[in-house]
Amino acid sequence: MTRNVHQLTVNGYEQWDQYVDQHQDGSFYHLSGWKQLIETVYRHKCFFLFWSDNDQIKGVLPLVEQNSLLFGHSLISTPICVLGGVLADTSQIADELVCYAKSLADKLNVDYMELRGAFSSRSHDDMVAPEAQAHVLIGCELADNPAAILAGIKKKQRAVVRQSLKNGLTTKIESDVDNLYHIYSTSVRNLGTPVFPKKSFVELKRIFNSRCEILTVFDGAQPVSSVMSFYYRGNVLPHYGGGIAKARELKSNDFMYYQLMCHAQEQGCHYFDFGRSKIDSGSFRYKKHWGMEIKPMCYQYYLVKSTALPALSANNPKYKMLIKLWQKLPLTVSQYIGPLLAKHLG
C-alpha cells in the first residue's frame, strides 16, 4: 500500500472539502459532512481515503462499510448518496487510491466494493460494470425567470403544473424537519420502502446548514408535499421528497418541484439536478415527463466474496414479498422499524 494514502480525521475536514470544491468533478456527495452523518446516525465505519504529498491533498475516495444479514457486506462510495467514487489530480493518483481501496475490501472480506462514478484504467480490469447500467441522472438548466422555466417543461407536464397553480397551494421554507419527515415517511411506506431515521434529516440540516433547505407545500394549513434539497456550486439537488395521498389530487408534488426551480433560480442556481433514478421505475417515469436531459450513470464493482453483481432491487423476487408487507404497516410502526433496515440501504 502506498505511503501517500491516508484516512480522513476531524482535523482534515476543511482541507478535504476545499479539494472537493476546486475539483472539476467534485460533487456535494463527496463532501466530508457525509462522513459525519454516516458515523453519527448510521454507525457505519467510514474509510474516507485521501492521497497527499507535502500535506497537499491531490485525490480523495470516500468509502463506507455496510454489513447486514439481509443485504450483505459491502464497501460503497457512497451509500445514501447519489454519487461517489474517485476524485484525483492525475490518473496515477486515482489508480493508487483504487488499489488501496481494493486491498481494504480484501482485508475486510466484503462481498463487493461499489463505486458510484466512472473509473477507467487498464490497471484495474478486475473492476466490472453491469452490461446495462440500471441508473441514470436527470436534470436541466434553469431559465432566468418563472415564465421561461415553465415554458421549458415538456408540454404535457407543463399542463399539469399549470393546473396545480390554480389549486390555491402555498409554499414555505422550513427550518425544522417535522413536516418533511411525516410526509416523506408516509410516501416511502406507501412505496414499500423503509424510511431513514428522523435523526438523519435533523443532522443533514445541522451539518450542511445553509446548503440544505426544506420546502413544504401547504393546502390551507395542511402540509401536503415536502422536499429536502441541497445547494452546491450553482446546482439545486432535491434529494428527499414526497407527498401524502392528497398530493395526487392537488398536483402538489408538481407544484413543489416547479416552485423549487423558481426559488433556486432566484437564489442564483443555474441547474436543477433531479437526481438518480432506476430505469423504468416509477420515479424515472415521473421525472421523464418533465422533459429533462437524461445522462447515464456508471456503477462499477470489485467482487471479493461475491461471484455475481449485487441485485438490491425492488424487482428482485427476494424482496417483493417484503415490499408488499411493508406497504400494509401502520405509519408509526414503519417509522419505528424502518430505520433499522434503511441504515443498510441507499
CA dist., res. 76 & res. 110, Å (int) = 10
State the fold for domain 5-131+298-310.
Aminopeptidase (3.40.630)
What cell was used for 169?
397551494
pLDDT at 41: 95
Q: Identify the segments of the chain with pLDDT beneath 50.
A: none
Q: Where in the chain is the domain with CATH 3.40.630.30?
A: 5-131+298-310, 136-296
**pLDDT tens string 13-29:** 999 999 999 999 999 99
* pLDDT tens per residue, range 70-127: 788 999 999 999 999 999 999 999 999 999 999 999 999 999 999 998 666 656 778 8
b/e per residue, 191-200, with b = 16+ CB within 10 A? ebbbbbbbeb
The pLDDT score that the predictor gives to residue 233 is 96
Dihedral of alpha carbons 196, 270, 86, 210, sign: negative
Decide: helix, strand or coil at residue 77.
Answer: strand
The CATH number fitting domain 136-296, selected from 3.30.750.24, 3.20.20.140, 3.40.50.300, 3.40.630.30: 3.40.630.30
| 30, 87 contact by CB (below 8 A) | yes
**pTM listed for this prediction:** 0.91
Count Cα neighbours of 205 within 13 Å in the Cβ-side half-sphere.
18
Quick one: how far is CA 180 from the chain centroid? 16
Check if the beta carbon of residue 344 is closer than 8 Å to that of residue 68.
yes
Q: What pLDDT is attached to residue 125?
A: 77
Express the helix, strand and coil content of the chain in percent, nearest 5 each: 40, 30, 30
